[in-house]
A = this chain, B = another copy of it.
Amino acid sequence: MLSSVKENPLYEIVNPESIAFFGASNNVSAMGTTQLNSLRALGFEGSVYPVHPRETEVQGMKAYKSVEELPEIPDLAVLVLPTKIVCETMEACGKKGIKHAIVVSGGFKESSEDGVNLEKRLIEIANRYGMIFIGPNCLGVANPHHKLNTTFLRYEGKPGFIGMASQSGSFVTQVFQYLSQYGLGFSTAFSVGNEATVDIVDCMRYLGSCPNTRVIALYVEGIRRGGEFIETARAIIPEKPIVAYYVGGSETGRKAGFSHTGAMAGPDRLYDGVFRQSGVIRADSVTEMFDYCWVLGNLPKPGGRRVVIQTHSGGPGAEAADICGRIGLELPGFSDETTSKLSAFIPHTGSIQNPVDITFSKNWMDFFSGIPKALLEEENMDILLMYFLLPSEMVEQSMALMGMSKEKVEIESKKFIKMCCDAISGILKEHNKPLVGFTYRSFRDHFIQELLSRGVPIFPGPERAARAIKALVRYYELREEIVKAGGQGIKG
């Protein structure tokens, strides 16, 4: 294991200062052009050298006829080339002294017997020049903290804390918008492709020591180095959680994964055992994988699995209680002290049981200050699950009906929503217990956006919220087992 991310062999692939780019041209529909453009769109600050045999300019940038002509030895080469010229280009890069590459091109091991041989030759060339490379048959790397994105879609949203290693390129690139709508983003995401010289375990090691990464997500079609996977995961778990979605869990998924990247998947039970032994949380879908990352990366350690539900609507409260119960979370009752604190806030139509239901309460602020404070102070609870509904329109309407001008309403309603959200963040800072939200509002809603920006995970409906809470609880249980068994951490 490594003591610093800068000593990791992948460091320069993820944080290059200069890039030689092969395969971009003035043909706008070429894959390489799209990838070069998404790199530039994110504002990559290092040097980029397009290499093209015929053009003097590519996408408005000075182009070089060959890698020999480059004014320096770039940290990284990105190859988006036809299969048949990949090996010779790697050879030229090796001769130039380039030590790191991303080989996007497909047509290797995943496609045919010839491809298998071609991939062997590619590895042999890399070894000869002491190069390591990601791919072939991949989309490369997105490290928004370094303004690096070699994939074909533009990065959306802010740099985040999810480190990802994926055996599918789609899940590092086609989810940019998906994550950003929740205020999430990648720390660094690897599309590992055929894993010729860099596999998912190498990426886990990098992400384990990467300071921007708070949680690691894995999309797995097949693990090749089982022993190293377990060992690496167990070293990481004491410091950060790992969540994996394994697509070969079913016969149909296994077949599809094989046809996708040629990964040899194993029986579901085998993988279940590997994940469990590794302390890795298993997700049943990609959505769930990112849900788990969200709570694991954002929330403090819960003391246990005792959930208190706070709502102002009976139905959503009952639904949340039903779902929590069904998946094995506990809903504790309250101490006399808490009951007495709550009775000041709860009108007769509400309930001082768990779920705490304050239907028809007139003072909206209690919901965001006095009540959650009383609940978080309760000794018999570990996690707060809150239902959020505060339609901006409703606040605005009330204010308009009070005779405020349109301009005033706009300002005042935003102020009011900010005040509610600040109240919640303030209370969370005082009490080191996790809060998870759920709602049936759209994520465009101003109130929901304000909460998200304060790091409160909010799910559409209680089902995803409850399952995410369970993953949060589970991680700390697994971590304890591993620490007790002598797991040392990646820096140990």
The residues of A with any CB-CB pair to B shorter than 8 Å are 28-29, 31, 33-34, 37, 59, 106-107, 111, 153-154, 166-171, 174-175, 177-178, 181, 219, 221, 245, 247-257, 259-261, 284-288, 309, 313-326, 331, 348-349, 351, 353, 355, 357, 360, 362, 389, 391, 393-394, 397-398, 401-402, 440-442, 444-445, 460-463
Contacts and interface: CB of A to CB of B under 8 A. Distances in A.
Contact of A317 (B256, B321, B331, B349): B256
A65 to B, nearest CB: 23
A322 to B, nearest CB: 2
A440 B156 CA distance: 13
A349 B107 contact: yes
B253 A285 contact: no
Contacts of A169: 313-315
B287 A460 contact: yes
A37 B461 contact: no
B318 A257 contact: yes
29 contacts: A59-B401, A107-B349, A167-B315, A169-B314, A170-B314, A171-B316, A174-B313, A174-B440, A177-B445, A221-B318, A245-B319, A252-B322, A252-B324, A253-B319, A256-B321, A256-B353, A257-B318, A259-B351, A259-B357, A260-B317, A260-B351, A284-B326, A285-B461, A285-B463, A286-B316, A286-B319, A286-B461, A287-B461, A444-B444
Nearest to A180: B442
Contacts of A320: 256
A313 to B, nearest CB: 4
Contacts of A440: 174-175, 177-178, 286
Contact of A442 (B166, B181, B286, B462): B181
